């Protein structure tokens, strides 16, 4: 079956459909990973986007449910040069095409993804509509203009209830703005006691969980679309050690008074070079973001730039000058990509341990008692978390 991709600037690509049928509007972006398409497809940060893979053959090792980064894909479409119908891999359960069909996602193959990528690099990311219908380009353009596709992404992808991955060491509350499973894996690997909470969990509710540290996850969309999250992060800074990843990094920056802005075409791939400014060392990192922290906006805040991107010099890491809080724009959990930066999870645990030593008056039991007393009068609050009372 034929499929078409119409861009906002009027460019029309005609190819073959290999996923679901219908129409889908999204922001057209490109990812340069040679492998890792399953992790890309299931990364909730891509919610609302039509993802173009620059590597020309996608699907050759099939789909393996264990390799997902979340429960399901949230992308609005997949664009490839060639889709492999016959994966060669003993672990493969099904094909990329059947995955897309299962979740109502349109896939288009057989188009010139190099030309499409060059266009996006030149003009910047733009809206697009994928269709398997016979609508005219005028009808498609009309639909593209009127269909909202970038709204409430964080609440769409975040967990609706609290869940835990028990461990015997530090208790980490992961605020799920669209968290990749790799982040939780990296914490449980270190025997952390992980509690994952929904994106709209209040600072007070987090306090009642008596965390040793709070991890702000990755997630989709513009960080300025979730001002309540920024306000919550602002409350948490100074009280708990904080580690922000990608969207979490942007929310941390906004909470500290810095600003964010949209990149022309973003960073999406597994080989982005990042320089650690304290050691001068370069790390190869996995990235997926369309926004960045504005450099000028840092002055006058308590933020210190710790990492920069070696390609375009944008900010890749920040830390707070006074409080135990730091963040990175890239993905230390990789998935997909290199593990160069997984040491950042160890750094976070070190920061937590130091914070405990520096604040002996605040062991977890004392925090829990204080939280329980504070909550005694407001037990009817929506989504109340009961940890403190146990």
Ligand X SMILES: NC(=O)CC[C@H](N)C(=O)O
Report the residue number, 171 or 267, with the smaller CB distance to ligand X: 267
Q: How far is the CB of 250 from ligand X (least distance, A)?
A: 6
The answer to whether the annotation marks 219 as part of a ligand binding site is yes
Residues making contact with ligand X (CB under 6 A): 45, 218-221, 246-247, 288-291
The catalytic residues are 246, 331, 333
Report the residue number, 36 or 62, with the smaller CB distance to ligand X: 36
Report the residue number, 40 or 111, with the smaller CB distance to ligand X: 40
d(CA 17, CA 14): 10
The answer to whether the annotation marks 361 as part of a ligand binding site is no
The answer to whether the annotation marks 266 as part of a ligand binding site is no
Q: How far is the CB of 310 from ligand X (least distance, A)?
A: 18
Q: How far is the CB of 365 from ligand X (least distance, A)?
A: 34
The answer to whether the annotation marks 309 as part of a ligand binding site is no
Q: How far is the CB of 137 from ligand X (least distance, A)?
A: 29
Report the residue number, 253 or 388, with the smaller CB distance to ligand X: 253
The answer to whether the annotation marks 187 as part of a ligand binding site is no
Instruction: Point out the annotated binding site.
Output: 45, 219, 221, 247, 250, 288, 290-291
List residues forming the annotated binding site for L-glutamine: 45, 219, 221, 247, 250, 288, 290-291
């Amino acid at each position: 079956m034929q499929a078409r991709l119409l861009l906002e600037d009027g460019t029309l690509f005609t190819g073959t459909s290999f996923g679901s049928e219908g129409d889908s509007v999204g922001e057209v972006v490109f990812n340069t990973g040679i492998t890792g398409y399953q992790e890309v497809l299931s990364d909730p940060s891509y919610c609302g986007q039509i993802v173009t893979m620059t590597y020309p053959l996608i699907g050759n090792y099939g789909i393996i449910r264990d390799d997902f980064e979340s429960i399901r894909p949230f992308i609005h479409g997949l664009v490839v040069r060639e889709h492999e119908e016959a994966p060669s891999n003993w672990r493969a359960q099904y094909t990329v095409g059947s995955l897309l069909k299962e979740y109502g996602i349109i896939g288009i193959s057989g188009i010139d993804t190099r030309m499409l990528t060059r266009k996006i690099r030149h003009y910047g990311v733009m809206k697009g509509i994928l269709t398997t219908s016979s609508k005219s380009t005028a009808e498609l353009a009309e639909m593209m203009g009127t269909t909202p596709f970038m709204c409430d992404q964080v609440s769409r992808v975040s967990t609706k209830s609290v869940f835990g991955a028990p461990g015997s060491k530090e208790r980490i509350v992961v605020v799920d703005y669209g968290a990749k499973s790799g982040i939780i894996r990296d914490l449980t690997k270190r025997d952390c006691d992980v509690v994952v909470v929904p994106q709209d969990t209040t600072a007070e509710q987090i306090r009642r969980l008596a965390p040793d540290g709070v991890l702000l996850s990755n997630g989709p969309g513009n960080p300025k679309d979730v001002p309540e999250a920024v306000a919550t992060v602002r409350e948490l800074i100074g009280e708990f050690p904080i580690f922000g990843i990608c969207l979490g990094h942007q929310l941390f920056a906004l909470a500290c008074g810095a600003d964010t802005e949209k990149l022309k075409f973003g960073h999406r791939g597994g080989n982005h070079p990042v320089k650690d400014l304290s050691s001068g060392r370069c790390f190869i990192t996995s990235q997926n973001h369309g926004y960045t922290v504005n450099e000028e906006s840092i002055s006058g805040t308590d933020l210190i730039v710790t990492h920069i991107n070696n390609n375009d010099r944008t900010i890749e890491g920040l830390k707070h000058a006074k409080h135990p809080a730091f963040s990175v724009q890239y993905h230390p959990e990789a998935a997909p990509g290199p593990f160069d930066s997984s040491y950042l999870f160890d750094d976070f645990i070190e920061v937590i341990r130091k914070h405990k030593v520096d604040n002996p008056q605040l062991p977890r039991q004392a925090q829990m008692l204080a939280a329980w007393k504070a909550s005694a009068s407001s037990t009817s609050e929506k989504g109340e978390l009961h940890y403190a009372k146990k």
